[in-house]
Amino acid sequence: MLLKQPIVDAINAQVTEEFTASAQYLAIALYFERETLPELANYFHLQAAEEHGHATKLLGYINEAGGMPIIAPTRAVKNDFSSVEECIRLALDQELTVTAQINNLVKVAMENDDYLTNQFLQWFVTEQLEEVSSMTDLLNIVKRAGDNLFRVEEYLSRTPHPGAGANNGAA
Protein backbone atom coordinates (compact mmCIF):
# COMPACT_ATOMS: atom_id res chain seq x y z
CA MET A 1 0.00 0.00 0.00
CA LEU A 2 1.01 3.62 -0.48
CA LEU A 3 0.71 4.53 3.20
CA LYS A 4 2.78 3.50 6.22
CA GLN A 5 0.72 1.99 9.03
CA PRO A 6 1.36 4.86 11.50
CA ILE A 7 -0.16 7.21 8.92
CA VAL A 8 -3.21 4.98 8.51
CA ASP A 9 -3.58 4.79 12.29
CA ALA A 10 -3.31 8.56 12.64
CA ILE A 11 -5.91 9.21 9.92
CA ASN A 12 -8.26 6.62 11.39
CA ALA A 13 -7.93 8.37 14.77
CA GLN A 14 -8.91 11.63 13.07
CA VAL A 15 -11.96 9.92 11.58
CA THR A 16 -13.20 9.33 15.13
CA GLU A 17 -12.67 13.02 15.92
CA GLU A 18 -14.64 14.11 12.83
CA PHE A 19 -17.55 11.76 13.59
CA THR A 20 -17.49 13.01 17.20
CA ALA A 21 -17.59 16.60 15.92
CA SER A 22 -20.53 15.67 13.69
CA ALA A 23 -22.42 14.12 16.62
CA GLN A 24 -21.67 17.17 18.80
CA TYR A 25 -23.02 19.53 16.16
CA LEU A 26 -26.12 17.38 15.77
CA ALA A 27 -26.69 17.58 19.55
CA ILE A 28 -26.34 21.37 19.35
CA ALA A 29 -28.76 21.54 16.40
CA LEU A 30 -31.33 19.53 18.35
CA TYR A 31 -30.98 21.88 21.35
CA PHE A 32 -31.65 24.84 19.05
CA GLU A 33 -34.73 23.05 17.70
CA ARG A 34 -35.99 22.66 21.27
CA GLU A 35 -35.39 26.37 21.83
CA THR A 36 -37.25 27.26 18.59
CA LEU A 37 -34.22 28.82 16.94
CA PRO A 38 -34.62 27.42 13.41
CA GLU A 39 -31.76 29.28 11.70
CA LEU A 40 -29.26 28.22 14.36
CA ALA A 41 -30.62 24.67 14.17
CA ASN A 42 -30.24 24.64 10.40
CA TYR A 43 -26.72 26.05 10.63
CA PHE A 44 -25.63 23.28 12.99
CA HIS A 45 -27.34 20.56 10.99
CA LEU A 46 -25.22 21.76 8.06
CA GLN A 47 -22.10 21.74 10.24
CA ALA A 48 -22.90 18.19 11.35
CA ALA A 49 -23.19 17.13 7.70
CA GLU A 50 -19.88 18.83 6.90
CA GLU A 51 -18.10 16.94 9.67
CA HIS A 52 -19.61 13.70 8.44
CA GLY A 53 -18.21 14.63 5.03
CA HIS A 54 -14.76 15.20 6.51
CA ALA A 55 -14.79 11.73 8.11
CA THR A 56 -15.93 10.18 4.83
CA LYS A 57 -13.21 11.98 2.91
CA LEU A 58 -10.53 10.63 5.27
CA LEU A 59 -11.94 7.09 5.09
CA GLY A 60 -12.05 7.28 1.30
CA TYR A 61 -8.42 8.36 1.18
CA ILE A 62 -7.29 5.41 3.29
CA ASN A 63 -9.29 3.04 1.10
CA GLU A 64 -7.94 4.51 -2.11
CA ALA A 65 -4.36 4.29 -0.86
CA GLY A 66 -4.76 0.61 0.06
CA GLY A 67 -5.04 0.97 3.83
CA MET A 68 -7.72 -0.39 6.17
CA PRO A 69 -10.29 2.25 7.15
CA ILE A 70 -11.67 1.80 10.67
CA ILE A 71 -14.95 3.26 11.91
CA ALA A 72 -14.62 3.37 15.69
CA PRO A 73 -17.18 4.53 18.28
CA THR A 74 -17.29 8.28 18.74
CA ARG A 75 -16.38 9.91 22.02
CA ALA A 76 -19.19 11.12 24.29
CA VAL A 77 -20.80 14.43 23.36
CA LYS A 78 -22.62 17.06 25.39
CA ASN A 79 -26.37 16.88 24.84
CA ASP A 80 -27.84 19.67 26.91
CA PHE A 81 -26.93 23.32 27.20
CA SER A 82 -27.95 26.40 29.13
CA SER A 83 -27.39 29.08 26.51
CA VAL A 84 -26.68 29.76 22.85
CA GLU A 85 -23.34 31.26 23.78
CA GLU A 86 -22.33 28.07 25.59
CA CYS A 87 -23.00 26.11 22.38
CA ILE A 88 -21.04 28.43 20.14
CA ARG A 89 -18.10 28.53 22.56
CA LEU A 90 -18.07 24.73 22.61
CA ALA A 91 -18.19 24.67 18.80
CA LEU A 92 -15.31 27.14 18.51
CA ASP A 93 -13.24 25.16 21.04
CA GLN A 94 -13.96 22.04 19.02
CA GLU A 95 -12.80 23.69 15.79
CA LEU A 96 -9.60 24.90 17.45
CA THR A 97 -8.96 21.38 18.75
CA VAL A 98 -9.55 19.87 15.31
CA THR A 99 -7.21 22.45 13.78
CA ALA A 100 -4.46 21.36 16.17
CA GLN A 101 -5.21 17.71 15.32
CA ILE A 102 -4.98 18.37 11.57
CA ASN A 103 -1.72 20.26 12.05
CA ASN A 104 -0.39 17.31 14.02
CA LEU A 105 -1.45 14.94 11.24
CA VAL A 106 0.53 17.05 8.75
CA LYS A 107 3.51 16.85 11.12
CA VAL A 108 3.25 13.05 11.28
CA ALA A 109 3.03 12.89 7.47
CA MET A 110 6.13 15.07 7.10
CA GLU A 111 8.05 13.07 9.70
CA ASN A 112 7.27 9.96 7.64
CA ASP A 113 8.27 11.60 4.33
CA ASP A 114 4.69 11.02 3.18
CA TYR A 115 4.26 13.74 0.55
CA LEU A 116 1.01 12.28 -0.76
CA THR A 117 -0.73 12.48 2.62
CA ASN A 118 0.75 15.90 3.26
CA GLN A 119 -0.75 17.14 0.00
CA PHE A 120 -4.10 15.44 0.72
CA LEU A 121 -4.26 17.09 4.15
CA GLN A 122 -3.78 20.60 2.79
CA TRP A 123 -7.50 20.68 1.91
CA PHE A 124 -8.25 20.15 5.63
CA VAL A 125 -5.72 22.82 6.66
CA THR A 126 -7.56 25.39 4.52
CA GLU A 127 -10.97 24.12 5.63
CA GLN A 128 -10.03 24.70 9.27
CA LEU A 129 -9.24 28.34 8.58
CA GLU A 130 -12.76 28.77 7.20
CA GLU A 131 -14.38 26.85 10.06
CA VAL A 132 -12.55 28.66 12.87
CA SER A 133 -13.19 32.00 11.18
CA SER A 134 -16.94 31.47 10.67
CA MET A 135 -17.42 30.13 14.22
CA THR A 136 -15.49 33.11 15.63
CA ASP A 137 -17.80 35.43 13.67
CA LEU A 138 -20.87 33.64 14.99
CA LEU A 139 -19.63 33.88 18.59
CA ASN A 140 -19.10 37.63 18.15
CA ILE A 141 -22.63 38.03 16.76
CA VAL A 142 -24.10 36.02 19.64
CA LYS A 143 -22.23 38.03 22.25
CA ARG A 144 -23.32 41.31 20.65
CA ALA A 145 -26.95 40.20 20.40
CA GLY A 146 -27.18 39.47 24.13
CA ASP A 147 -30.72 38.36 24.98
CA ASN A 148 -32.08 39.36 21.57
CA LEU A 149 -31.58 36.04 19.83
CA PHE A 150 -33.81 37.17 16.99
CA ARG A 151 -30.81 39.19 15.81
CA VAL A 152 -28.73 36.03 15.57
CA GLU A 153 -31.50 34.31 13.64
CA GLU A 154 -31.75 37.30 11.32
CA TYR A 155 -27.98 37.35 10.77
CA LEU A 156 -27.95 33.67 9.84
CA SER A 157 -30.97 34.01 7.57
CA ARG A 158 -29.11 36.44 5.33
CA THR A 159 -25.59 34.98 5.61
CA PRO A 160 -24.58 32.25 3.16
CA HIS A 161 -23.74 29.26 5.30
CA PRO A 162 -20.24 27.89 4.95
CA GLY A 163 -20.36 24.70 2.98
CA ALA A 164 -23.96 25.14 1.89
CA GLY A 165 -24.19 24.25 -1.77
CA ALA A 166 -20.44 23.68 -1.92
CA ASN A 167 -18.44 20.51 -1.71
CA ASN A 168 -18.81 19.48 1.91
CA GLY A 169 -15.79 17.29 1.72
CA ALA A 170 -17.67 14.15 0.76
CA ALA A 171 -16.12 14.01 -2.71
| Interacting residue ranges for ligand FEO, rule: CB under 6 A | 18, 21, 51, 54, 95, 98, 131
CB of 153 to ligand FEO, least distance (A): 22
User: Does residue 88 contact residue 144 with C-beta atoms inside 8 Å?
Assistant: no
Nearer to ligand FEO, 131 or 153 (CB): 131
φ, ψ of residue 152 to 5 degrees: the values are: -65, -45
CB of 9 to ligand FEO, least distance (A): 19
Q: How far apart are CA 145 and CA 129, in angstroms?
A: 24
Q: How far apart are CA 93 and CA 54, in angstroms?
A: 18
Nearer to ligand FEO, 107 or 144 (CB): 107
Nearer to ligand FEO, 95 or 153 (CB): 95
CB of 24 to ligand FEO, least distance (A): 10
8 CB-contact burial (10 Å; exposed 0-12 / middle 13-18 / buried 19+): buried
CB of 37 to ligand FEO, least distance (A): 21
